[in-house]
Amino acid sequence: MGSSPTPPTSFYKIMDLEILRHSCSHVMAQAVKELYPEAKLGIGPAIEAGFYYDFDLPVQLVPEDLTKIEAKMKEIIKADQKFERIEVSKEEAVRLMQERNENYKLQLIQSLTDERVSFYKNGSFLDFCRGPHLGSTGEIKDFKLLSVAGAYWRGIETNPVLQRIYGVAFASKKELDEHLKNLDEIKKRDHRKIGKELDLFSIHEEAGAGFVYYHPRGAVIKNIIEDFLRRENSKRGYELVSIPHIAKIDLYDTSGHTSYYRENMYFMKIDQQDYVIKPMNCPGHILIYKRKLNSYRDLPIRFFELGTVYRYEKSGVLHGLLRVRGFTQDDAHIFCRPDQLKEEIISVLEFIDYTMKKFEFNYEVNLSTRPEKFTGQAEDWDRAEKVLKEALEEKNIPFAVDPGAGVFYGPKIDVKLKDALGRLWQGPTVQVDFNLPQRFDLSYIDEDSSKQRPVMIHRAILGSIERFLGALIENYAGKFPLWLSPVQISILNVTKESKDYALKIEEVLKTKGLRVEADTKDETLQKKIREKELLKVPYMAIVGKIEQESGKISLRARGMKNLGTMEIEQLVEKLKQEEGLT
């Protein structure tokens, strides 16, 4: 076994967080091996803001074990062990891992085509790794282990489940403390936690993982969002359509989905024929376009649907509303002439900008180009990428190019929503498609009576309603603005004598189109107020003997803010103005 000198890579000079975090993952693996000698090593990469390492352990780790592992890591760091790169033949590497009974590392090495293999050694610890690493363990200063989770080996469900330990590491204690504070805020904003507290939605294992059940309050918010989309699409010349949830497999053979997307599709048999539970709405919208002969004067034709689709996702990646198996898209398809393409894309970009401002999201934009596996002609892809780029530049929208990230039928603009904590969420998309019009032999009659091929734009303003709602919950931390709140105001009576007055106000506000509920339970006012604060209701109208006699209400805003007494008409005017309806 020969060794090569480790380059003088001082952490304080290069400040490379990826190298720091990867080095920290090795120290964690070393600590686990010293505490649990029977542990077998999986992989341990650096990830955004941190690192993880997968272990096959004879015991099930609990959160308290992380403190013990951290203490052992600090001992290794204090020892200031040098990271040494060692290069051996593949044959020698196999022998080393066999000797150490590292079955998972052995699989990785055997899958390599390289003749030489590198390891990194610090102290008595040896790990198969390409590197690079820090100069020594002593250069690791500020880190924290966060959690333990299960993870399939190499992400394959039929493989063993390993225990994955997550951690974070930063260049300074200040950065680490800020990150940990941010993580605490993220936990508080977790849409699954808030969704339960506000009684918005649930997912039931007995009914199937990845399928969302909206409760009354959650359904109100979803309906508000969908009503907004219906109105705004109608204003912009989109026509509402609706298609079935299943179709013959032939339709998706023609579209190419069964070739390029099969592993994410659900199949079923009806009358001895193969059917697909729809993963996409586009083939159905194409059939509606084809129902008649279209003239160049008819174009652009814009079809819009709040269409529920079903896609298979591995159970390990399902996550609340953010990653599900059944979800609704605000899906639209524009059929236009080539000379209309840029104008239509610009119109969609303006629609996206308007909507993001309405929901108080900033955003970032990527231009995703041709992937390695694609359908159609390269020249069509080049044309599509060019027009998307020109539209972004014409609107002065900053963007980054994401090479090879387009879908199989066309390039796209991807919009990432930026929330109150600076996190990015997948959101709107605009895709140019020359391929499906060709696959389905779409046409229109041009001015000279010739048959021409339309261009197709796939676009979603919010994307998945479920994912958008999850991001929205976390962005607002459940404190929805008045126009989105499932209950805008609660009427709370102080005594039994003011119950009828509370119910009368409730009826008046309902006739004004406000979402209101009267809480006339026989409980103390303080308990009612606390309950509404926990439900994050924007306003509470308190009514007792004084308010009843004067025909007024005492208004309290979310966050225990007393706004004084006012007439009911004043209250209606205030709420309507805040809601944006006056």
Residue 286 CB-density burial (10 A; 0-12 exposed, 13-18 middle, 19+ buried): buried
Structure tokens at 377: 């002609």
Q: Which of 331, 380, 419, 433 is catalytic?
A: 331
Which listed residue (412, 532, 552, 556) is catalytic? 412
Which position among 311, 467, 532, 552 bears the catalytic label? 311
CA angle 476, 481, 486 (to 5 degrees): 100
Mean pLDDT of the chain: 91
Preceding amide of 132 cis, omega within 30: yes
Domain 2-187 CATH class label: alpha beta
311 is catalytic: yes
Query: Coil, strand or helix: which one is 381?
Result: helix
The answer to whether 120 touches 56, Cβ cutoff 8 Å, is no
Q: Which long-range contacts (CB under 8 A, 24 or more apart) does 176-185 make?
A: 176/142, 176/143, 176/144, 179/49, 180/144, 182/421, 183/146, 185/421
Half-sphere exposure of 197 (CA within 13 A, CB side): 18
In 10 A of CB 116, how many CB atoms? 11
Determine the average pLDDT of the residues in 558-580.
Answer: 91
Q: Is 338 helix (H, G, I), strand (E, B) or coil?
A: helix
273 by DSSP, 3-state: which? strand
The residues of the chain that CATH labels 3.30.980.10 are 2-187
Q: Is 333 a catalytic residue?
A: yes
User: What's the pLDDT tens digit per position in 170-203?
Assistant: 988 999 999 899 888 888 999 999 999 999 999 9
CATH architecture of 197-476: 2-Layer Sandwich (3.30)
- Alpha-carbon span 332 to 352, nearest angstrom: 13
Digit-coded pLDDT (tens) for 19-32:
999 999 999 999 99
Residue 377 has pLDDT above 50, yes or no: yes
Written as six digits, the tokens of 185 are 């805020």
Report, as an integer, the average pLDDT of 352-373: 92
Residue 26 annotated in active site: no
Residue 20: closest CA among 41, 50, 44: 50
Contact (Cβ atoms closer than 8 angstroms) between residue 285 and residue 243: yes
pLDDT given for residue 112 in this prediction = 85
276, 305, 285: which is closest to 465 by C-alpha?
A: 305
- Pull the structure tokens for residue 466: 């479920």
Choosing from 85, 217, 285, 458, the catalytic residue is 458
The first and second tokens of residue 228, run together, are 């907004």
* CA 493/CA 123 separation, integer angstroms: 71
Given the residues 329, 340, 431, 488, the one annotated as active site: 329
Q: In terms of Cα–Cα distance, which of 257, 270, 258, 277 is closest to 325? A: 277
For 153-197, where are the E strands, in sequence order?
161-170
Confidence of residue 1 (pLDDT cuts 50, 70, 90): very low
**Which pLDDT belongs to residue 11?**
39
Average pLDDT over every residue of 419-429: 85
More confident residue, 275 or 371: 275
Round to whole Å and give the CA distance between 342 and 400: 19
Of the pLDDT bands very low, low, confident and very high (cuts 50, 70, 90), residue 5 is: very low
Catalytic residue among 81, 163, 217, 282, which? Answer: 282
Sign of CA dihedral 144, 147, 148, 151: negative
Looking at residue 297, its amino acid is R
Q: Is 532 a known active-site residue?
A: no
Going by the DSSP 8-state scheme, the letter that residue 7 receives in this structure is P
Percent of the chain clearing pLDDT 70 (strictly above): 97
Half-sphere exposure of 339 (CA within 13 A, CB side): 5
Closest CA relative to residue 353, chosen from 401, 302, 415: 415
| pLDDT (0 to 100) of residue 581 | 54
Q: Determine whether 282 is an active site residue.
A: yes
Question: Cα-flanking dihedrals φ and ψ of residue 398, to 5°?
Answer: -65, 140
Enumerate the CATH 3.40.50.800 domain ranges in the chain, comma separated: 489-579
Ranges in the chain annotated CATH 3.30.930.10: 197-476
412 noted as active-site residue: yes
331 is a catalytic site residue:
yes
Cα–Cα dist 101/548, whole Å: 80
CATH of domain 489-579: 3.40.50.800
> In this structure, how many other beta carbons lie within 10 angstroms of the beta carbon of residue 490?
23
Share of the chain above pLDDT 90, in %: 77
First to last CA, the chain: 79
The number of residues making up the chain comes to 582
- Residues 375-381 have a mean pLDDT of 84
Euclidean distance between CA atoms 158 and 488, whole angstroms: 48
Which is catalytic among the residues 85, 192, 217, 333?
333
Q: Is the peptide bond between 481 and the residue preceding it cis, with omega within 30 degrees of 0?
A: no
Give CA–CA dist 426/422, Å, rounded: 13
What sections of 407-551 are H helices per DSSP? 435-439, 465-476, 499-511, 525-534, 545-550
Quick check: 433 and 442 in contact, CB under 8 A? no
Mean pLDDT of 525-531: 95
